Amino acid sequence: MVDSQITISLPGLEDGRKADEPCTIVIFGASGDLTARKLIPALYHLHIEGQMPGSFHVVGFARREKTDASWRDEMRAGVETHSRTRRVDNAKWNAFAANLSYHRGDLTDADAYAGLAKRLAGLGDPCLVNNLVFYLAISPSLFGEVVDQLRTADLLHRMEEGDAHWQRVVVEKPFGHDLQSAQVLNNHLLRHVRERQIFRIDHYLGKETVQNIMMFRFSNAIFEQLWNRESIEHMQITVSEDIGVGARGGYFEEAGTLRDMMQNHLLQILSLVAMEPPPSLAAEDIRNEKVKLLKSIRPMTMEAVATNVVRGQYFAGIVNDDSREGYRQEERVNPESNVETYVALKLFIDNWRWSTVPFYLRTGKNLPLRASEVRVQFRPTPNVLFAAQDNLDLHANALTLRLQPDEGIFLRFNGKVPGNSIETRPVRMHFGYDAEFGAYTPEAYERLLLEAMAGDTTLFIRRDEVETAWQIVDDIREGWGGTSLSNREFYAAGTWGPIAADDLLERDSHKWHNPKPAQR
């Protein structure tokens, strides 16, 4: 039985999980938004909750002129503004800040790395000097340069079995902009380190509700036994955003929604929802199954792209009573741009479990609300027993995994309305994280940083995984072939996407399930 095989917590989810070995975290891009908004607040919370190593140090590396004291003050302001508590205890902050220091240097300057090596040597403790997490919160175009410089400065080594100390490199997305660039970057990094030393982040994998997908599937026999083509008619994965591109117009003109969201977030969720049970909870066993799933996706031929892929672009509209400009009017956007701000796909997974079951994935900007959810639509019952009844409102069963916000799991089934007549209507069972576990949910970066320090790669993306995802995206982009958007592919900001996306499902007699606003 599947549910008797997996009765322990997932890696990195144990109560009281702690990174035990002393280490130093070097953050490249220490003056950037990510450091102040996410990284330092995450490390601060890990510290006050006793999950950091007994001895640790954090070095911020950036080009701007700052002192240790001024950088600490900036980071405190970041914690007060962006952390999940936003209330900073002075004594706890001072204890944490004593482990923060700032190193000024240009990312291309060899002397700056020599100075970094000297600073680290001054920490004294061999573990703080040699157990190193290098967090590259910088432009992907500089990943290779930084790794080259670290190797030249003798700060980064290819790990061998039995080594007393370790170094790890954490890289943010986007990891390349297509398959070829991802392969080039992978090859560059692997000249200096082994695959197990590279931690490619997709912050979605750090979300508590995303991690819970595996636990939900493989520890509950009542659902896992139905998780196949015999019981499930189709699945929908929706990641909607209620914001436009904002100041990121220049980046978005290069990336588009397909590269920015579909290549990583949605395909990652798909792999967890649809993969086979791994033989163990070891990181490589889990990642093997995710890659197998992605490789089982039916190839996106030119014909498949034309039939099963929809793109869209928002024009002016209203979102949450706020007037929004059209994409082509956004800052640093070509006024005749055909870049997609919305993508919907119909995918098929050609394996035994999922043969013939369509998976519908969609994501877009300036939609009515921000939400991420998986909708599992079960097959309807035969229309035999109740066929003669006119007043029955029978619906196929459905299961919704709400990943954010209003995190929870909802099961829809049919129930009889009280009374003397036979009348039914769909009802819902609702499990909410807040109600069951309280309001506390760790930030994704807390979990990911903890796992990077502990050396657990389960929640990070392996080379073949990222390259397989890029192959899918490249095939779709090739199928588009630079063609212009049609009228049916534009949508008003504040709506659920273009008409063409509704057509995609209506051909199969299906409809999109639109997420509802969070209930508080």
Q: Write out the catalytic residue numbers.
A: 265
Q: Cα–Cα distance between 174 and 55 in angstroms, integer?
A: 32
Where does 267-319 show beta strands of DSSP type E?
Answer: 309-315, 317-319
Whole-Å CA distances, 258 to 200, 254, 263, 311, 517: 19, 11, 6, 9, 25
Whole-Å CA distances, 281 to 142, 235, 291, 292, 457: 34, 25, 15, 16, 11
Q: Cα–Cα distance between 256 and 246 in angstroms, integer?
A: 13
Q: How far apart are the first and last CA of the chain?
A: 37
- Specify the 3-state DSSP secondary structure of 348: strand
b vs e for 339-360, b when ≥16 Cβ sit within 10 Å of the residue's Cβ?
bbbbbbbbbbbebebbeebbbb
Phi/psi for 99 (5° steps) reads -100, 5
Half-sphere exposure of 309 (CA within 13 A, CB side): 25
On the 0-12 / 13-18 / 19+ scale of CB atoms within 10 A, 224 is middle
Parallel, antiparallel, or unpaired: how do β-strands 358-364 and 232-240 relate?
parallel
